């Protein structure tokens, strides 16, 4: 079955680009195993098309797209390409084992992009549209074409380019608001215009791809759907270039909660939303903003007395959707030192984490270590444990084996560190301006590098002096950003692990080269 069988008038296809546009978010590098885990969850939760990467961008991207193509059973798997034959052929090669491969080829159509970025005339761009779609169609029937910066494109030229793509065989036409510039009324108008003016438009699926620079991505996507778009491109947690993309969870829940005025259906099992949100946050090291719509920690919290009173009388007073609709389940199971593996599995499942036996075994060890140090284990502690990239990545090049610091009023503070580097232990002692500085100096002595520390952030997971601290570390090397994260009841240990986690990601990132604006 292809997504074209899902052709009922009210059916909106969900195209998830967390692994491609989302990963282009500065600092959001994901490992291969993280990408595979996310892709499999997206498939299970009913995403129609998974954009798995940009195969020509790097060996790593190519490999990720090919592995995901082999493993995904139901969704179409998509690879991005510019308009050159080399890009398109590379995407096709990466997708060769997919049950339903889709090639997504794009070129910019706005005057500013054509003149300055591509340095091509409009005629040359039209030729590239024709030749790129034709080339992609030589590999698969399932071809998507995008007019990059469509919302700043001359209407007549946009119609001409779309018509060219349709004639060359594109089956999905994507209209991106690349720079997050449009507003809902205009977003709808562009889709209506294409529907009125472009021959053959009714034979293809119109898609919308909105960036969030002015905070209107979801509103613009929904407006496009109201005007006739039937594919929404979006990402989990709204991840993406700059201010991000339309958030999948917001688009899907808006259509579900306001189905009275937005009478559209998606194939998404909304009870998997919280699991997907946490998985993506863990993989990227990007925390979800507390007041983020649908998936933020405060999205279902009611603090004002008047709200609590209303909630107690009837949840409908202040709640427009139920926590369980997105997979949040409240339980009374209190976890602690004596809790067993079955209780941990049940609790994690309530929190949206379904673990196999091996993964559970590893998490159980960490849980016991934490329970030895902390009397009560709250839900947030378990979420922090599950989100601890450093703890989860047993296969990483670098791992913190042990750390001892000397700190206090009389300096210098020092750190004695043992790091496991590719399986063998290395140790050193370093001093610094405080225990964290000393620890980072010790890491740097064992793993010399020129990356610059851009952000060091500590956040308490729960209340109390025995609370875990979640530490985020962002580093920059040659214009590339990575974010490492770790949690521990010892803030300095969490700092060391977060720093090492960022370095591990940097190693993955090094091979990824940003493709330049290429036209043909």
| Residue located via tokens 């999905």 | 172
- Which residues sit at the interface with Zn ion, rule CB under 5 A? 21
Q: Residue 288 has what DSSP assignment?
A: P
Q: Does 176 bind ligand KIV (CB under 6 A)?
A: yes
Q: Does 209 bind ligand KIV (CB under 6 A)?
A: yes
Q: Does 102 bind ligand KIV (CB under 6 A)?
A: no
Measured CA to CA, the distance from residue 493 to residue 184 in angstroms comes to: 47
Interface size with ligand KIV, residues (CB under 6 A): 9
Intra-chain end-to-end CA distance of the chain, in Å: 33
Q: Does 43 bind ligand KIV (CB under 6 A)?
A: no
Q: Nearest residue to Zn ion, using CB?
A: 21
Q: Which stretch binds ligand KIV (CB under 6 A): 67-75, 174-182, 306-314, 442-450?
A: 174-182
Q: Which does 164 bind (CB under 5 to 8 A by kind): ligand KIV, Zn ion, none?
A: none
| Number of continuous H segments (helices) and E segments (strands) in the chain | 17, 14
Task: Give the SS3 label for residue 393.
Answer: coil
Q: Which does 250 bind (CB under 5 to 8 A by kind): ligand KIV, Zn ion, none?
A: none
Q: How far is the CB of 146 from ligand KIV (least distance, A)?
A: 4
| Closest by CA position to 355, among listed 373, 329, 382 | 382
Q: How far is the CB of 52 from ligand KIV (least distance, A)?
A: 14
Q: How far is the CB of 20 from ligand KIV (least distance, A)?
A: 8
Q: Which does 163 bind (CB under 5 to 8 A by kind): ligand KIV, Zn ion, none?
A: none
Nearer to ligand KIV by Cβ, of 153 and 282: the residue is 153
Show contacts of 29-33: CB within 8 Å, 24+ apart: 29/284, 29/482, 29/505, 29/508, 29/509, 29/512, 30/283, 30/284, 31/283, 31/393, 31/505, 31/508, 32/60, 32/63, 32/64, 32/67, 33/395
Q: How far is the CB of 272 from ligand KIV (least distance, A)?
A: 25
Q: Which does 160 bind (CB under 5 to 8 A by kind): ligand KIV, Zn ion, none?
A: none
Which residues, 6 or more positions from 429, have their beta carbon under 8 angstroms from its beta carbon?
414, 415, 416, 417, 442
Q: Which does 353 bind (CB under 5 to 8 A by kind): ligand KIV, Zn ion, none?
A: none
Q: How far is the CB of 495 from ligand KIV (least distance, A)?
A: 35
Q: Which does 54 bind (CB under 5 to 8 A by kind): ligand KIV, Zn ion, none?
A: none
Q: How far is the CB of 502 from Zn ion (least distance, A)?
A: 25
Measured CA to CA, the distance from residue 309 to residue 311 in angstroms comes to: 5
Q: Residue 329 has what DSSP assignment?
A: -
Measured CA to CA, the distance from residue 325 to residue 433 in angstroms comes to: 49
Q: Does 178 bind ligand KIV (CB under 6 A)?
A: yes
Nearer to ligand KIV by Cβ, of 21 and 87: the residue is 21
Measured CA to CA, the distance from residue 181 to residue 490 in angstroms comes to: 44
Pairing of strands 424-432, 413-421: antiparallel
Q: Does 51 bind ligand KIV (CB under 6 A)?
A: no
Nearer to ligand KIV by Cβ, of 148 and 380: the residue is 148
Site string for ligand KIV, 143-172 (x = CB under 6 A): ---x-x------------------------
| Residue 264, token pair as written in the block | 């559209």
Q: Which of residues 264-303 bind ligand KIV (CB under 6 A)?
A: none
Helices (H), 95-170: 111-112, 122-137, 155-168
DSSP readout, 1-45? --GGG---TTB-EEEE-TTTTGGGSTB----HHHHHHHHHHHHHT
Q: How far is the CB of 217 from ligand KIV (least distance, A)?
A: 11
Q: How far is the CB of 106 from ligand KIV (least distance, A)?
A: 5
Nearer to ligand KIV by Cβ, of 54 and 300: the residue is 54
Tell me how far apart the 2 most distant CA atoms of the chain are, in Å: 78
Q: Does 21 bind ligand KIV (CB under 6 A)?
A: yes
Q: How far is the CB of 200 from Zn ion (least distance, A)?
A: 25
Q: Which does 148 bind (CB under 5 to 8 A by kind): Zn ion, ligand KIV, none?
A: ligand KIV
Strand partners, 424: 421
Q: Which of residues 104-133 bind ligand KIV (CB under 6 A)?
A: 106
Q: Which does 106 bind (CB under 5 to 8 A by kind): ligand KIV, Zn ion, none?
A: ligand KIV
Binding residues for ligand KIV, rule: CB under 6 A, are 21, 106, 146, 148, 174, 176, 178, 209, 211
């Amino acid at each position: 079955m292809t997504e074209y069988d899902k052709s009922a008038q009210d059916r909106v296809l969900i195209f998830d680009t967390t692994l491609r546009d989302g990963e282009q978010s500065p600092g959001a590098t994901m490992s291969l195993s993280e990408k595979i885990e996310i892709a499999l969850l997206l498939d299970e939760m009913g995403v129609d098309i998974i954009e798995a990467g940009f195969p020509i961008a790097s060996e790593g991207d190519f490999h990720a797209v090919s592995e995901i193509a082999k493993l995904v059973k139901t969704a179409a798997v998509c690879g991005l390409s510019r308009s050159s034959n080399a890009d398109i052929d590379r995407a096709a090669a990466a997708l060769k084992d997919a049950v339903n491969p889709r090639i997504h080829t794009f070129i910019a159509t706005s005057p500013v992009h054509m003149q300055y970025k591509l340095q091509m005339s409009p005629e040359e761009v039209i030729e590239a549209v024709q030749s790129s779609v034709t080339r992609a169609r030589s590999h698969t029937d399932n071809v998507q074409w995008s007019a990059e910066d469509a919302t700043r494109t001359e209407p007549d030229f946009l119609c001409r380019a779309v018509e060219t793509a349709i004639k060359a065989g594109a089956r999905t036409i994507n209209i991106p608001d690349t720079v997050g510039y449009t507003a809902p009324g205009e977003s709808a108008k562009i889709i209506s215009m294409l529907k009125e003016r472009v021959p053959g438009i009714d034979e293809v699926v119109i898609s919308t791809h909105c960036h969030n620079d002015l905070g209107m991505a979801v509103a613009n996507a929904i407006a496009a759907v109201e005007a006739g778009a039937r594919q929404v491109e979006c990402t989990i947690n709204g991840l993406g270039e700059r201010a991000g993309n339309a958030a999948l969870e917001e688009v899907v829940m808006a259509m579900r909660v306001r189905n009275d005025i937005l009478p559209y259906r998606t194939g998404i099992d909304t009870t998997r939303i919280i699991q997907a949100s946490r998985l993506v946050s863990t993989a990227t090291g990007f925390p979800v903003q507390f007041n983020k719509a649908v998936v933020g920690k405060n999205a279902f919290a009611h603090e004002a007395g008047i709200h609590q009173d209303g909630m107690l009388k009837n949840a409908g007073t202040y709640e427009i959707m139920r926590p369980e609709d997105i997979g949040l389940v409240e339980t009374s199971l209190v976890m602690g030192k004596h809790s067993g593996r079955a209780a941990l599995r049940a609790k994690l499942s309530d929190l949206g984490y379904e673990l196999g036996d091996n993964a559970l075994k590893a998490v159980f060890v960490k849980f016991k270590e934490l329970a030895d140090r902390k009397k009560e284990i709250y839900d947030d502690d378990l979420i922090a444990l599950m989100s601890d990239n450093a703890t989860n990545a047993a296969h990483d090049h670098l791992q913190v084996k042990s750390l001892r610091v000397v700190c206090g009023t009389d300096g210098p503070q020092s750190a004695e560190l043992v790091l496991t580097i590719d399986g063998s232990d290395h140790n050193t002692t370093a001093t610094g301006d405080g225990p964290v500085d000393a620890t980072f100096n010790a890491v740097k002595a064992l793993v010399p590098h020129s990356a610059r520390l851009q952000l060091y952030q500590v956040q308490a997971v729960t209340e109390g002096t025995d609370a875990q601290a979640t530490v985020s570390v962002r580093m920059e090397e040659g214009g590339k950003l990575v974010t490492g994260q770790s949690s521990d009841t010892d803030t300095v240990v969490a700092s060391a692990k977060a720093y090492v986690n960022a370095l591990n990601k940097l190693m993955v990132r090094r091979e990824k080269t940003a493709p330049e604006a290429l036209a043909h």
